[in-house]
Structure 1
Amino acid sequence: MDGQLIAFTGLAAGLVAMPGADFTVVVRNALVSRRAGLACALGITAGLLVHTALAVAGLAAVLAAVPALFRALQLLGGAYVLYLGLRTLRALRRPSAALADEAASGGRPLRQGFLTNALNPKASLTFLSVLPQFVPAGSPAMPRTLLLALIVVVLALLWFHAVALLVDRLGRWLRGPRAARVVEGVTGGALTVLGAVLLLEPVLAA
């Protein structure tokens, strides 16, 4: 592995592990069950795959060139994260068993993870700006960019699955009725705040 790949892997690991809506959604689902946490982690990785594919194809440049489209996606993503937060807080009124059944039902964790990540246009722009910096001058851009994108996806797959497994193990002490409601309240509040920030950012920037 050359020096540039080592540097990129370190940078990508930092970007992937940065706490945010993705991390919070994985934690929330992993506290419901290991299966829900892993499904959510897989959904986030799939969403990240969309962003890296857009960056490789150059389509992310369209978001940078069309501010209205970028802001619309920001608002949509913020609204979804806010919805998840408010929905989590509202669900605290229900019995704990009903809450767990609802969160783990069907493909909901997978869908939550995918939409939380895929609806964040900043991810596409981040990779669009970062990937070209690690393509050596004179070398074919496409194969190298695909390799860099693959590194990002693999790191995300490993990181979020590790988070889900760790939270699931710690969750044995956090899944009591009282503790579970406290954790749900904290994650719901965090998602609500993150969603509000994501919604306000494009409005204040306009």
Structure 2
Amino acid sequence: MDGQLIAFTGIAAGLVAMPGADFAVVVRNALVSRRAGAVCGLGIAGGLLVHTTLAVAGVAAVLVAVPALFRALQLLGGAYVLQLGLRTLWSLRRPATGPAEPGPSAAHPLRQGFVTNVLNPKASLTFLSLLPQFVPSGGSALPRTLLLALIVCALALGWFQAVALLVDRLGNWLRRPRAARMLQAGTGAALTALGAALLLEPLLG
């Protein structure tokens, strides 16, 4: 592996592991089961594949050229993350009598992960600006950018599977009624705050 690939892998790993809506939605699903968390992580990797493919194709540049489209995607993404957070908080009304139960939307962790990630237009812009920095001049750009895109998706798969595994390993403690409600409240509040921030940014910008 050349120096540029090593550098790109390090930067991409930091971006993937950065706490945010993706991380919170994986934890939310992993509290239901390890499988739900893992499938949610798979959905996030699918969303990243869309973003990196758009960056490779140059389509993400349209988001810069058409601000209204960029704002519309921000609003859609913010609304989706916000409703996930509010539904998580709303489910706290149920008495804490046992392990965490799946909420109304927890039956679709793949969809949750994919939609949460793919409706974040900033991801496309991030990779649009990042990928060209690691494509050597004078060579064929397409194979290199496709390789970089695959690295990003592989990192996301590995990281979010690890998150789901960790939550599952701590499951006996995390699924105790008191601990489960505390973590559920924390992830619900995080998703609500992130969704509100995504909604307010285009409205106030």
* Interval of TM-score (by shorter of Structure 1 and Structure 2): over 0.9
> Offset at 1:147?
0.5
d(CA) in 1 for partners of 2:64, 2:185: 36
**Structure-2 residue corresponding to 1:75:** 75
Deviations 1:86-122 (A, max 9, x none): 010111112556961436854x111111110000000
1:49-68 matched pairs, under 5 angstroms: 49-68=49-68
**Structure-2 residue corresponding to 1:174:** 174
Q: Which runs of 5+ in 2 are unaligned?
A: none
1:1-206 matched pairs, under 5 angstroms: 1-95=1-95, 100-102=101-103, 106=107, 108-205=108-205
CA-based RMSD: 1.5
Aligned length: 204
Q: Write the letter of the residue equivalent to 1:64.
A: V
8 Å Cα contact 2:88-2:103 kept in structure 1: no
d(CA) in 1 for partners of 2:102, 2:9: 38
d(CA) in 2 for partners of 1:46, 1:145: 17
d(CA) in 2 for partners of 1:45, 1:100: 25
- SS of the aligned residue for 1:100 comes to coil
d(CA) in 1 for partners of 2:127, 2:138: 20
Quick one: structure 1 residues 105 and 6, their matched pair in 2 at CA, closer, same or farther if it must change by over 3 Å?
closer
Q: Which runs of 5+ in 1 are unaligned?
A: none
Give aligned-pair identity as a percent.
76
Q: Write the letter of the residue equivalent to 1:100.
A: E
Quick one: structure 1 residues 103 and 162, their matched pair in 2 at CA, closer, same or farther if it must change by over 3 Å?
farther
- SS of the aligned residue for 1:137 comes to coil
> Offset at 1:174?
1.0
Q: Which runs of 4+ in 1 moved over 4 A?
A: 95-99
> Offset at 1:178?
1.8
- SS of the aligned residue for 1:32 comes to coil
8 Å Cα contact 2:22-2:113 kept in structure 1: yes
d(CA) in 2 for partners of 1:192, 1:98: 23
d(CA) in 2 for partners of 1:78, 1:120: 8
d(CA) in 2 for partners of 1:78, 1:25: 13
- SS of the aligned residue for 2:4 comes to helix
d(CA) in 2 for partners of 1:29, 1:11: 27
d(CA) in 2 for partners of 1:129, 1:94: 45
Q: Write the letter of the residue equivalent to 2:125.
A: L
d(CA) in 2 for partners of 1:105, 1:197: 23
Task: Compute the TM-score of the two structures, normalised by the length of structure 2.
Answer: 0.95
d(CA) in 1 for partners of 2:202, 2:66: 13
d(CA) in 2 for partners of 1:160, 1:47: 13
